[in-house]
Structure 1
Amino acid sequence: MLTDILNVLSPTNLSFLLSGLGLTLYMSAIIIVLSTILGTILAVMRNGKNLLFRWISSIYIEFVRNVPNLLWIFTIFLVFQLKSTQAGLTAFTVFTSAALAEIIRGGLNSIDTGQTEAGLSQGFNHFQILIYIILPQAIRKMLPSIISQFVTVIKDTSLLYSVIALQELFGASQILMGRNFETTAVFTLYVVIALIYFVINFAISQFSRYLSKKWEKAMS
């Protein structure tokens, strides 16, 4: 039993897992940045006065959110014939941006309309009011939900191995499991992978709580 555990935790295997972790974090970072930008644009479009933009954003958000992410990964990979990494980034950005758009829209709607009126009275245009007045306040309110979505992205990248054979963290562990059939070795790998996901996501959640408390003190 101890031999199996030591074999699984050998430097070579750990290095292989870390390479998978690096790909997971790299992809998650890109997905989060792109999805936040696109999600913000969609939220502003859906809240805007332009009827065409509102319809486009509404259809996009509702359709994408109600189709499983797994199906988006599979469809984009096959239809557009992209490489695995590109397909994964595209599918996750499409799906996550729709989820973030609703979170951001809720945050924007939570800000009193008097803020906009006050900004207009001071000579700001609508874009300046959005950037300098509305968004900074909205971010404080929607931060926990946004961080929760970011954590979901990191966890759900594990779907990429089963659909498009991308060797991210979970995919790397599956490859190692194929080389180690002993029950103890497989169990050890599962524990190691679970701990890695937990540490990363718990750290992100704790940082979110820290920021929320810091902002609450600053506003009090």
Structure 2
Amino acid sequence: MEVFSSANVMFMLGGFVKTLEISALSIFFSLILGTVLALVKAYAAKPFSLLVSAYIELFRCTPNLLWILFIYFTVKGSDVFISTLAFTIFTSAVMAEIVRGGLNSIPQSQFEAAQSQGFGFFATMRLIILPQTFKTIIPALFSQCTTVIKDSSYLAGINVAEFMYTSKVVMAKTQSLNEVLLVYGFVFLLYFALNFGISLFVRAYQRRQVAA
């Protein structure tokens, strides 16, 4: 079938790889920035905490696509850089709330015990609190990962050659409805397999935690 020639399939898979690259980078940097934002909101002086709260609410109450377009028209750089930046500034607000929820789940006795052993704030966070926090938020973290992967399809709107864009290019080469539907099915299967795999991992992790 012409639409599934080796060249077309490799072209679409190249887009899928770019989707994975952008998603992984965005999640990585979002988690770092989100952790910093969560710590500032939870423990910094009130003016800084309020600034972080405003940042979080700004991005949580506006569409991701809006910021993708804003970054696209205002920032110079490669497709990967622009895409990663847009997703990072948006997703970090969500990550901040996830991390803050994890911080709130840690008993106060953990902080008191660390203080009694002479640990400073940063040592307490790095060695005691954050490791427990990240362990707690793994299900929510991976749920957000699937959201980032799915939302990466918005990048097709700014001509980033991710999976949805490359698939649309291939679909444009045919006038056959059946072939178009087959390409949609191919896109569906790869997105579903990736995100369902993440979902299965989270369920297995939760079962192990309950069993422990």
Q: Give the TM-score, by structure 2 length.
A: 0.94
What does residue 64 of structure 1 align with?
59
Q: Can you give the 5+ residue segments of structure 1 that lack an aligned partner in the other structure? A: 1-5
Greater mean deviation of Cα atoms: 111-120 or 49-58: 49-58
- Which of 166, 185, 191 pairs up with 2:160? 166
Q: In the TM superposition, what is the alpha-carbon distance from 1:206 to its structure 2 partner?
A: 1.7
What does residue 79 of structure 1 align with?
74
Q: How many angstroms apart in 2 are the aligned matches of 1:130 and 1:29?
A: 25
- Which of 27, 31, 49 pairs up with 1:36? 31
Q: Answer yes or no: is 1:89 the counterpart of 2:57.
A: no
Tell me: CA distance 1:212–1:195, structure 2 relative to 1, closer, same or farther (3 Å).
same
Q: Is the 8 A contact 1:151 1:201 kept in 2?
A: yes
Q: Is the 8 A contact 1:77 1:83 kept in 2?
A: no
Q: How many angstroms apart in 2 are the aligned matches of 1:177 and 1:11?
A: 15
Query: Root-mean-square deviation (CA), in Å?
Result: 1.4
The residue type equivalent to 1:12 in the other structure is A
Greater mean deviation of Cα atoms: 73-82 or 147-156: 73-82
Q: Is the 8 A contact 1:158 1:169 kept in 2?
A: yes
Alignment of 1:177-188 (within 5 A): 177-188=171-182
Q: Answer yes or no: is 1:145 the counterpart of 2:137.
A: no
Aligned length: 212
The residue type equivalent to 2:173 in the other structure is R
Indicate the SS of the match to 1:167.
coil
What does residue 3 of structure 1 align with?
none
Q: In the TM superposition, what is the alpha-carbon distance from 1:84 to its structure 2 partner?
A: 3.2
Q: How many angstroms apart in 2 are the aligned matches of 1:154 and 1:120?
A: 40
Greater mean deviation of Cα atoms: 136-145 or 22-31: 136-145
Q: How many angstroms apart in 2 are the aligned matches of 1:203 and 1:41?
A: 29
Indicate the SS of the match to 1:22.
helix
The residue type equivalent to 2:11 in the other structure is F
Q: Give the TM-score, by structure 1 length.
A: 0.91
Q: Answer yes or no: is 1:118 the counterpart of 2:113.
A: yes
Alignment of 1:4-15 (within 5 A): 6-15=1-10
- Which of 97, 102, 114 pairs up with 1:102? 97
Q: How many angstroms apart in 1 are the aligned matches of 2:37 and 2:155?
A: 26
